[in-house]
Amino acid sequence: MDLRECAKIINSDFMGESFEVTKMNTLRDASKSEISFVANSKYIKDIQNSNAGAIIVDKQTKEFVPEGCIALVVESPYWEMATLSKYFAPPIEDATLAKPQIGEGTIVSPKAEIAKGAVIGKNCTIMAHVYIGANTQIGDNTILYPSVTIYRDCRIGSDCIIHANTTIGSDGFGFATNRLGEHRKIYQNGNVVVEDNVEIGSSTTIDRAVFGTTLIKHGVRIDNLVQVGHNCVIGEHSVLVAQAGISGSTTMGRNVVMGGQSATAGHLSIAPFTTMAARSGVTKSINQSGLTFAGFPLVEHKIWLKLQAKIARLIK
């Protein structure tokens, strides 16, 4: 889409030479042919290092846009980013793509549905009512149990097991809200990548990224009824137990363990080899490795045990 057309959609004027916009992206990852945005003052520091060809900003932020980058000035950058995201959403299914490719030895139930552009490796098992979306890639020796749904553009590695009714690549929970309290969808134009040797339980959901990738790294084990939000990174060999909830843009190191019904706030970092006991509530990043936590607000597990003992004595 031509930059002039983008500016027209969000009601913005701009100075400078137009160019062909290929997609939207974050400030850090955008290239010269891409549009980014700034909706929070804490990201102003990232503007100077951004390679974006154009950035959606408000009047207060315009002065930080570097020379050579075009400022698209609007009243509400987050709202207009949501507006523009619709125009860069790829088609849900694409009839122009090639027929699916099925590897040697792979068994596909006649009741499964595989969209055009999908590529499935060798010796996989695809059971009844599975849906595999356009441009999805699946490695070798992977098993998809009944009613697994994998949305477009996702990548599933080799030697994976995904249990019944799980959904990979559904839209992340993203929307902008205006002053009237109205909501506008932010189209989730990224994907999900599940690396090799990952097992995912039944009725789990892993949301696709807004931009970029939601990443489940090698050797992860995910239980039933787990929610992984958009743009999360789950480190190698981590374990997420039933009803755990990981809010968007949370990054976990390797071998993190989250007990049942534990949850994180968004945009956090969790150090490697961290353990959260059942029903833990993580509201701040954890920077020291190897610790075990419990409770809400989160405290080290040994302190939580002492607190519970003191409370128990008080009510006797």
Do the beta carbons of residue 118 and residue 137 sit within 8 Å? yes
For residue 6, give the 3-state DSSP assignment: helix
**What residue spans define the domains of the chain?**
3-88, 101-304
Phi, psi of 133 (to 5 degrees): -80, 175
For residue 177, give the 3-state DSSP assignment: strand
The predicted model gives 79-97 an average pLDDT of 95
Rounded to whole angstroms, how far apart are CA atoms 82 and 93?
Answer: 22
The predicted model gives 279-294 an average pLDDT of 97
Give the active site residues: 230
Do the beta carbons of residue 230 and residue 174 sit within 8 Å? yes
Give CA separation, 142 vs 79, 125, 137, 160, in Å. 40, 6, 11, 5
Q: Which residues contact 157 (CB under 8 A, 6 or more apart)?
A: 139, 142, 194, 195, 196, 197, 198, 218
- Look up residue 231 and give its two tokens: 């743009």
- Given a cut of 90, whether residue 44 has pLDDT beyond it is no
Rounded to whole angstroms, how far apart are CA atoms 169 and 231?
Answer: 11
Using 50, 70 and 90 to split pLDDT, how confident is the model at 159? very high
For residue range 174-194, list pLDDT tens digits in order: 999 999 999 999 999 999 999
Q: Which residues contact 305 (CB under 8 A, 6 or more apart)?
A: 294
Query: For the structural domain made of 3-88, what CATH number should be given?
Result: 3.40.1390.10
Sign, CA dihedral 23-26-29-32, equals positive
**Helix H or strand E segment including 107:** strand 107-108
- Look up residue 273 and give its two tokens: 């080899």
Strand ranges in 164-291 using DSSP code E only, listed in sequence order: 167-170, 175-177, 183-185, 191-194, 199-200, 205-207, 213-216, 221-222, 227-228, 233-234, 239-240, 245-246, 251-252, 257-258, 263-264, 269-270, 275-276, 281-282
- Given a cut of 90, whether residue 198 has pLDDT beyond it is yes
Strand order in the sheet with 23-24: 23-24, 34-37, 54-57, 70-73
Determine the residue type at 91.
P
Indicate if 101-304 has the same CATH topology as 3-88.
no
Second CATH level (architecture) for the domain 101-304 = 3 Solenoid (2.160)
The pLDDT value recorded for residue 16 is 85
The pLDDT value recorded for residue 15 is 83
Per residue, the 3-state secondary structure of 111-152, as one string, reads: CCEECCCCEECCCCEECCCCEECCCCEECCCCEECCCCEECC
Percentage of residues of the chain with pLDDT beyond 70: 100
Using 50, 70 and 90 to split pLDDT, how confident is the model at 48? confident
DSSP letter for each residue of 47-72: TTT---SEEEE-TTTGGGSPTTSEEE
The pLDDT value recorded for residue 43 is 82
Q: How far is CA 306 from the centre of its chain?
A: 37
Using 50, 70 and 90 to split pLDDT, how confident is the model at 315? confident
Q: Which residues contact 64 (CB under 8 A, 6 or more apart)?
A: 38, 44, 47, 48, 57
- Given a cut of 90, whether residue 42 has pLDDT beyond it is no
Strand order in the sheet with 263-264: 113-114, 131-132, 149-150, 167-170, 205-207, 227-228, 245-246, 263-264, 281-282
Identify the weakest region by mean pLDDT among 39-48, 133-142, 161-170, 179-188.
39-48
The predicted model gives 127-142 an average pLDDT of 98
